[in-house]
Chain A
């Protein structure tokens, strides 16, 4: 059996990887939604938000259908077994999908708050769209983007419903802080459940506090 320490460590690691996975597509999609007008933008925005409002188990089930042998990403269609289900990779997929909408929504607001005329000014000073994004948009939205990453990280730490469906709850392999707590509670192991609860509270508080500080620009101290 893994120690609580190991479970917490792997949960933190998986949450961090999920965060890294959603960051680049998340910023790109947030930028497109914040700055571009195109047909179907509202539909895209709604689809992006959907995992936030669906029951996590529904999202998990949908992912299971996709990754199952006969699913779109299954062996019978792709011709190879990606070997995702019931592994740590499934944990990361579940966490990424569930945290993606939170990341995109926060990042979109951060980008929308950047004065578009500053981007125009950068263009007039000879910077193309890509360099303007890197030199103006990104640094000016940095606080909001870090907040988005922290929120996505927190969401991944607490992910349970979708994860348990596609990754299961295998101690030492796919068990996360949330599923370990569930198991401990089910087994009547109050001591372990309490320890896990304290860790969850501590990590959750620290992340949300940091996010608050960042989004409020440190104004209220």
Chain B
């Protein structure tokens, strides 16, 4: 017997056309990310966890309850797993309006003792759906569809959220606007979630632990930043552009820029203005190769951001090198070349300045 009380015990093998998907994970991370490029098997894994795919062997348990125990022929049907599955294309019911979609899982929610009216109201407020309730799902934008799909999952009395590429079909601007809704879903409703994505930014913003997958195998597991720093993962993540993700509070608003204050940091970071008010929290990201390291405070530079910090360590990832630095309570990764390290004498413990342009930050 495996020890109980871990939130997830996943030991799955699923034969696919090109390879066998094989995933081992035992842990209690409430926001678990699964990273991989397209075709790495991550959606198959999510569908198997949801019970939407047959042919899996091994076992799977959530919160001490067996969902799959192939050896003994146990396979809990999907309707009894209490999952809130949100697929990439949302799959809203086209014959129902937004309210009908949100109320689709009402019966299960009530059977499970969930106060449906309360959670319905909470969902409508959190995802700002009041205006959309009577609208046909055919007349929703991409972002609205995403919010309704999330709301529908939460209203169904789900005990876990399974999100498949939650932002992949949205354009860059919309991604930034929807990401906070996902964070609200995680924080307000307190449900464990598994997020599948090929985007390191999403996973860093949402997850406490990440499994990186390649060709059906888990190749790395750990905290998002640690995973994305690994050379085998970094090169894959690099295609999306490796991004430092951080949250800050708006302190100053200007016409075209604003200042963000990071937790534990006296200085502020100047970023492009977005639709925000003073005191709002905003998620920002900054590519690791958009940051310069200077050993002295530079003068006469157009870049508006210069943060004093110290190099904690330098890691080699394939042909590239990454320096880890802490700014306040946020870790920034900076991509470096071997030449820069050698010529500037960069090493762990050295006090340096991180320099980057306002427009290098996406909010």
Contact = CB atoms under 8 A, between A and B. Distances in A.
Contacts of B156: 125-126
A128 interface: yes
B259 to A, nearest CB: 43
A142 to B, nearest CB: 8
Interface string B138-162: 0000000000000011001100000
B93 interface: yes
B108 A118 contact: no
A118 B93 contact: yes
A124 B85 contact: yes
Contact of B79 (A117, A126, A135, A136): A126
A interface, over-half SS: helix
Most buried by B among A122, A125, A140: A125
Interface in B50-87: 50-52, 77-85, 87
Contacts of A128: 77, 79
A17 B282 CA distance: 65
Contacts of B87: 117, 121
A172 B142 CA distance: 62
B108 A126 contact: yes
A207 interface: no
A127 to B, nearest CB: 6
Contacts of B105: 125-127
Interface residues of B, number: 27
What class of interface size applies to chain A in its complex with B?
10 to 19
B164 to A, nearest CB: 12
B85 A121 contact: yes
B94 interface: yes
Interface in B260-300: none
Contacts, number: 57
Interface string A88-126: 000000000000000000000000000101101111111
B256 interface: no
A139 interface: yes
A136 B78 CA distance: 16
Interface string A141-164: 000000000000000000000000
B125 to A, nearest CB: 21
A115 B157 CA distance: 24
A120 B82 CA distance: 13
A120 to B, nearest CB: 5
B95 interface: yes
B312 interface: no
B77 A125 contact: no
B278 to A, nearest CB: 40
A139 B50 CA distance: 25
Given A117-B87, A139-B95, A140-B94, A125 B108 contact: yes
B107 A126 contact: yes
Contact of B50 (A124, A136, A140): A124
Q: Which 4 A-B pairs have the closest CB atoms?
A: A126-B108, A125-B105, A124-B85, A121-B91
Interface of A: 115, 117-118, 120-128, 135-136, 139-140
29 contacts: A117-B87, A118-B91, A118-B93, A121-B85, A122-B93, A122-B104, A123-B77, A123-B79, A124-B50, A124-B52, A124-B78, A124-B81, A124-B83, A124-B84, A125-B152, A126-B82, A126-B105, A126-B107, A126-B109, A126-B156, A127-B79, A127-B105, A127-B107, A127-B108, A128-B77, A128-B79, A135-B104, A136-B93, A140-B95
